[in-house]
Amino acid sequence: MNSMTGFGRGIAADEALQITVEIKTVNSRFLDLHINMPSTLNFFENELRRQIKSVLQRGKVEVNISLRNTRDREKVFTVNESLALQIREFLVKNGFAQDIKKVALRDMMTVSQD
């Protein structure tokens, strides 16, 4: 290998899923490997590290992996009515709204689950 600096992107897809892998490398004295990927692929991280280390001995390496569902499926909108009522009650009880029937959606959306 003549240069430690590079960038590559690969995309693979089928009827249900698309995976994109990007690799960026820059010159560095030691191997500094960073992998960002969805948690659903964590089981694969050790094998990926092993394979990268088998071909690279040094450099700063960033690997980004993303998954995207490509199935055409109908989107379903659902409302948790019990939770919505609890939020409206909370907002009225704590003085953020006057009437439980007139609580604005934008006010309900500001309530954090934390």
How is 46-81 classified by DSSP, letter by letter?
A: HHHHHHHHHH-SSEEEEEEEEEEE-----------H
Q: Give tens-digit pLDDT for 69-103.
A: 888 767 788 888 898 888 889 888 988 888 888 88
**Interval 1-46: pLDDT, tens:** 556 789 999 999 988 899 999 999 999 899 999 999 999 999 999 9
Q: Strand, coil or helix: what is 36?
A: strand
Which is nearest to 19 in space by CA: 51, 54, 67, 62? Answer: 67
